[in-house]
Structure 1
Amino acid sequence: MTIEQKQQEIIDEFAIYDDWMEKYEYIIELGKELPLIDPGKKTDDRLIEGCQSRVWLDATIENDKLQLTADSDAIITKGIIGLLIRVLDNEKPEDVVKSDLHFISDIGLQEHLSPTRANGLLSMVKKIKLLALSAIPK
């Protein structure tokens, strides 16, 4: 499945819900489904700066594809990073860097977050793209 197809799948899933309370509940459920990060990788150097809550992100390369794992101490934030991982995990670093993550605005996520959470979301996207950029062979 391409990045675009994964985004469309998320857009379709969110279209089912009528109001933002239901959408928040769905995001929380997605966070609960996020695969656990290795506790040894919950280190300060993996913390994403700019997030209100603590968010750890780990990226490795396997078979020329970015492998992402993450965790957060806030359930809504865990769901948000889970959405990003769902779209960008197991993709070529070049594709991650070039990706236009329009699903964020298409589902109305950014406008329904507090300013600090919206900044955190931008920090998560930036960190994932920087990790992907650093993984591209020179």
Structure 2
Amino acid sequence: MDQGAAVSAIAHLISLAIAPVFLLAGIGSILNVLAGRLARSVDRWRRLEDQYEGLEGAALREASAELHILDQRMTVINLAISCCTSSALLICLVVAILFVADLADFPFGRPIAWLFILAMLMLVLGLVLFLYEVRLAMRALRAHRDIMPHRRG
């Protein structure tokens, strides 16, 4: 194979891999947001857990309800993180197989397509779970707001 043709083929492969790499950067940003939301939920859980022993009556019921919602939120966030991370790993496989397929001169077109479709499905599922977690958080805030006495300004 001509050296110029080899460089041209590698340049073409790199250009094919750029779109998935940008997708990986976007997934990284989503994972950063999810990790932040998980950290805030864990911090709130720990604060409530520290106060829990001294609570009685209505305050104890409110704390228990909030701990239940926080547990749901943390479970959903963990699932979303797992889905988005799986998506990123599958995209990495797509990029790697693109290079291997060309170097081995083997037609991996169908497996690459299926891996990319699976990666997109995992990303969609992760985003749906993220949306569900946000709705859980909003529901908890509304319930908390309904319990709080109204402030007069």
Could you say which structure has the higher strand fraction?
Answer: 1
TM range (shorter): under 0.3
Which of the pair has more CA radius of gyration? 2
Normalised to the residue count of structure 1, the TM-score between the two structures is: 0.28
Could you say which structure has the higher helix fraction?
Answer: 2
Normalised to the residue count of structure 2, the TM-score between the two structures is: 0.26
